[in-house]
Amino acid sequence: MPLEQRQPRVEDPAWLALVRKMPCLVCGYPRSDPAHLRTGSRQYGKRQCGMGEKPDDWWVLPLCRKDHTDQHRHNELAWWASKGIPDPFAVAKALYATRPVELRPLPAPAKPKKVRARKPRSERRRVGKSRPIPHNPERKIQNRNTLRKSQ
């Protein structure tokens, strides 16, 4: 049974459809599954997903079926790191920033039934104070665009 979510997740089918047309970030295969990042990240203000839960649809990266299946067999962050992507959150964020304007407006999430108390302000403010990450996500994004253009 799925755990109760604090907020209804943001669903963005138009974005997921676009991600399916992107090449796999790992092997370059031209069709992908949108692979949701389930791990939480304090740095990006992203909550860990419980069992049966999915994160908002902007936390996705394109992976072919084979790599997506393989990813689910391993620890998520360790798997991404082993593929040369130590910060998949940054990549997902950068990728989502390329969401075409014509796909807007973004579907609004449904109103939450019950709003639980938020974290104390002191804890929330820490989110933006992290050090910049050394990994450059632009490189992967650039590869993706290059691949798309050359198709």
Which residues of this chain interact with Zn ion, rule CB under 5 A? 24, 26-27, 29, 64, 67
- Which CB atom, from 46 or from 64, has the smaller least distance to Zn ion? 64
Give the nearest distance from C-beta 68 to Zn ion in angstroms: 8
Give 64 or 85: the residue with its C-beta nearer to Zn ion: 64
Distance CA 73, CA 87 (A): 19
Q: What minimum distance in Å lies between the beta carbon of 91 and Zn ion?
A: 15
Identity of the residue, 23 or 55, whose beta carbon is nearer to Zn ion in the bound complex? 23
Closest approach, Cβ 29 to Zn ion, in A, equals: 5
Residue with tokens 């209804």: 8
Instruction: Judge residue 57's burial from the number of C-beta atoms within 10 Å of its C-beta, 0-12 exposed, 13-18 middle, 19 or more buried.
Output: buried
Cα separation, 119 vs 17, in Å, equals 34
